[in-house]
Amino acid sequence: GAGVSQSPSNKVTEKGKDVELRCDPISGHTALYWYRQSLGQGLEFLIYFQGNSAPDKSGLPSDRFSAERTGGSVSTLTIQRTQQEDSAVYLCASSGASGDIGELFFGEGSRLTVL
Amino acid sequence: AQSVTQLDSQVPVFEEAPVELRCNYSSSVSVYLFWYVQYPNQGLQLLLKYLSGSTLVKSINGFEAEFNKSQTSFHLRKPSVHISDTAEYFCAVSPSGNNRKLIWGLGTSLAVNP
């Protein structure tokens, strides 16, 4: 499809397990973002990739969280040793040229539930 | 530090009534302003944005927002809402136009009732 694709759409896991969330951005978009949306909270910035530059990891909440982007396209967000407070919707977004200020294209999110 | 406050978490309204969703921000630098909408079971999508020029910006589906620098506000309005406008609306600001530094409000849930 032409939009941002995320998988899985829903993930239920047990505390302590590792999870991987995948994001396939819009073809040609150089920037990719991960956000976390918790109940009653705004969107929390996690990490940003721009082309071949070093990613901005300033939003990652702990060292259990990591992300990579292979070949400048698909990205994977990994959460190790999941905790109940990690339960949230994880949103991926991409954007094109730097002139498209503020126009992020979001996927439908991956809802993570940690039991 | 920049922040965004959406003053109403929920706004119930009847169809064809006017609506205003309020957004205030704080910033020590110039900002760009955005409203995003999230329809049920869909991803967020840009509704409208203010970058420069006319302080009144409009979307294709009848919403408009006005940037008021003195009141640091960017309220979203529509003169007559439809059932299909039922969604979550998020206000966001971008200091210095840096996408990854978008600061988000907590969202306002608009429920349009028949």
Q: Are B104 and B3 in contact, with CB atoms under 8 Å apart?
A: no
Measured distance CA(B44)–CA(B35) in Å, rounded: 10
Q: Are B92 and B32 in contact, with CB atoms under 8 Å apart?
A: no
Q: Is B108 on the interface with A (CB under 8 A)?
A: no
- Which residues touch A45 (CB under 8 Å, ≥6 apart)? A33, A35, A58, A59, B100, B101, B102
Stretches in chain B below the pLDDT threshold 70: 96-100
Q: How far is A42 from chain B (nearest CA, A)?
A: 4
Give chain A positions within 8 Å (CB) of B43: 3-4, 91, 105-109
More confident of the two residues A70 and B25: B25
Joined together, the tokens standing for residue A2 give 């032409």
In this prediction, residues A30-53 reach a mean pLDDT of 88
User: For the segment B27-38, what is each residue's pLDDT rounded down to a tens digit?
Assistant: 877 888 999 999
